[in-house]
Chain A
Amino acid sequence: GQNIDQPTEMTATEGAIVQINCTYQTSGFNGLFWYQQHAGEAPTFLSYNVLDGLEEKGRFSSFLSRSKGYSYLLLKELQMKDSASYLCAVMDSNYQLIWGAGTKLIIKP
């Protein structure tokens, strides 16, 4: 079966750095996505990785290792507004998205 694993919840301090991991087992691979979802709101796109390596976008970076079936989202200089759930999703060989359950990130002052 297809599976996406990410931690259920993480806590970090304002101003710090946090890394949210995602491991996947899917039928084929056509890219990995990270979305941010504030409580009660719609998910919004953060990043897309299809090749190995690090993609940096401001305070957020996303890393992919296809051979290890692994990705992480790195958030720097954490702000209170970063408190949200972070969803990892993989596009499989049929171009269908397989979603993880999401990681709830709690930022403390």
Chain B
Amino acid sequence: DADVTQTPRNRITKTGKRIMLECSQTKGHDRMYWYRQDPGLGLRLIYYSFDVKDINKGEISDGYSVSRQAQAKFSLSLESAIPNQTALYFCATSIGGYDTGELFFGEGSRLTVL
């Protein structure tokens, strides 16, 4: 089983619908992240959380919200999806502290907004 699990892996939805992408991890890491990846662009950080009570906006948080339900769970919501939110979304974790900062990624959730 993957250490970082994302659900759903693929989702097609319509403009205006609310969507939730879920991430759970068994690595015991405190830090969790949501990224989106678009063709020709680098990974862009949406939100990150350093522990259960800590939520921070990333580079492109507009139109998204998150919830850190537990150390192991970090969900990303699109309250009203729009077509330019069509992308591949990755959840990632890291140990934290003054380590190398290596990220461990989930397998990705491909979202298509029609």
- Which residues does A use to contact B, with CB under 8 Å? 4, 8, 30-31, 33, 35, 40-45, 48, 50, 87, 89, 91, 95-102
Total contacts A-B at CB 8 Å: 49
Known: A42-B107, A44-B105. A101 touches B41 (CB 8 A): yes
**Which B residues between 4 and 33 are near A, CB-CB below 8 angstroms?**
none
Across-interface contacts of B44 in A (CB, < 8 A): 99
Seen from chain B, the residues whose Cβ lies within 8 Å of a Cβ on chain A are: 40-45, 90, 100-108
B2's closest neighbor in chain A, by CB?
A: A42
Q: List 19 A-B contacts (CB under 8 A).
A: A8-B40, A30-B101, A33-B101, A33-B102, A42-B90, A42-B108, A43-B43, A43-B103, A48-B100, A48-B102, A87-B42, A87-B43, A91-B101, A97-B43, A97-B101, A99-B43, A100-B42, A101-B40, A101-B42
